[in-house]
Structure 1
């Protein structure tokens, strides 16, 4: 549906068979972001801020915060 997206960044919890699945079925490269070596305590993984920023932009719109749409594809069309 989005041919311009060719690479996906994911948390290291998604490693494993999902990497093969995303390449085979979605024709996308899945790269995992892991915790930096030697890090102690809470550490924000690299590229995490992009995800949080994007979710913040989506949730800023009141229409996306609540489920006002009757059908799921209406909400999907609004996000797209």
Structure 2
């Protein structure tokens, strides 16, 4: 993910330079015709997918850990009730 973030930052830095130092026509050529717009949004999409996958894994892990703790707590309570 860090590599994707670095690539996105690099494109954004270049975008700012091109926007400030080039004519609108040159900028449009660089952004659209050279494919930097598509590249930027493709990278952004991949990064968002990876972040979403990571969030889901954390949620599943958290859910799994809580599910595993609940039966243990229930059996501990049953043991106390038996006393």
The normalised TM-score by structure 2 is: 0.27
**Structure 1 or 2: larger helix share?**
2
Bigger radius of gyration: 2
TM-score (norm 1): 0.28
More strand per residue: 1 or 2?
A: 1
Where relative contact order (Cα < 8 A, 6+ residues apart) is larger, the structure is 2
